[in-house]
Structure 1
């Protein structure tokens, strides 16, 4: 499923191609690209759930009190999926204002819905890009995140 999300993101979003809305047409294209029907439906459902998360009512545990400075405590299931390095990266993105509380929770929600045996920091970066791209008003954060993902170090590495 994650491979399909990456395929869609790279071929439509990142390439600035026009995103197809017709599910049947998109499904046909993904089938031709070699993806399995079940995985295609799971990926499309994942994207629909991401769109649903934009509605504030879908994250009921976020209240006005949630906007005060606090530390996110991960559940045991979340810790199994999101390792300490990835948790640290999420915290870093919050500190530099790439993620806010709502987008952080959207990212965690979408990560937890992925059906992949191993989830790495690079995978997390792509999920963050997908979330930020899909949330109106976060264009600057998306651009910052894109720079972090695609930035190539200058000079010689030691």
Structure 2
């Protein structure tokens, strides 16, 4: 499923394709690209839920916007999915104001819905990018995250 999300994001968003695409046409394109129907439907449902997160005011974590820094206590399931490096990266993104508490919770919601046995900080970066792309008013944060995702390490690599 995550491969489909990556494919869609890289091919549709970065190619500036039309945002409103017929779901049947999209499904056919993904099948031609080699993806299976069940995984396609899961990925499309994941994207629908992402859109719903930014439009519904009854989502619990959207009701508690705070200007002060908070400490996030991760559930056991979240700790199983996100290793220490990933949780540290989320904290770093909050410290540099790429994420706020609301977008952090949106990211966590989407991370926990991905069906995978292995999830690393690179995958997390892509989820953050997808979430920020879909949240109006977060264009600067999206640009910062894009730079973090694609930055090349400086110096010699051994």
State the TM-score, normalized to the length of structure 1. Answer: 0.93
User: Is the aligned partner of 1:109 residue 2:106?
Assistant: no
Aligned length: 158
Matching residue of 1:30: 30
Question: What secondary structure sits across from 2:60 in the alignment?
Answer: coil
List 4+ stretches of structure 1 deviating above 4 A: none
Separation (CA, whole Å) in 2 of partners of 1:61 and 1:109: 10
Kindly tell me: are residues 65 and 136 of structure 1, through their superposed partners in 2, closer, same or farther at Cα, counting changes over 3 Å? closer
Does 2:37 align with 1:40? no
Structure 2, unmatched stretches of 5+, are none
- Equivalent residue number for residue 9 of structure 1: 9
Q: State whether residues 20 and 26 of structure 1, in contact with CA within 8 Å, keep that contact through their aligned partners in structure 2.
A: no
- What TM-score results when the alignment is normalised by the length of structure 2? 0.93
Moved more, 60-69 or 119-128: 60-69
Query: 1:30 and 1:37 mapped to 2: Cα distance?
Result: 8
Quote the offset at 1:55 in angstroms.
Answer: 2.5
Q: Displacement of 1:154 after TM fit?
A: 3.1
**1:65 Cα deviation from its structure 2 partner:** 6.2
Partner of 2:72: 72
CA spacing shift, 1:133–1:77, aligned 2, 3 Å: same
Could you report, residue by residue, the CA deviation over 1:89-148 in whole angstroms, capped at 9, with x for unpaired residues?
A: 000000000001111000000000000110011000000000000111000000000000
User: C-alpha separation between the residues in 1 aligned to 2:25 and 2:56?
Assistant: 31
Q: Which consecutive residues of structure 1, in runs of 5 or more, have no partner in the other structure?
A: none
- Which residue number corresponds to residue 146 of structure 1? 146
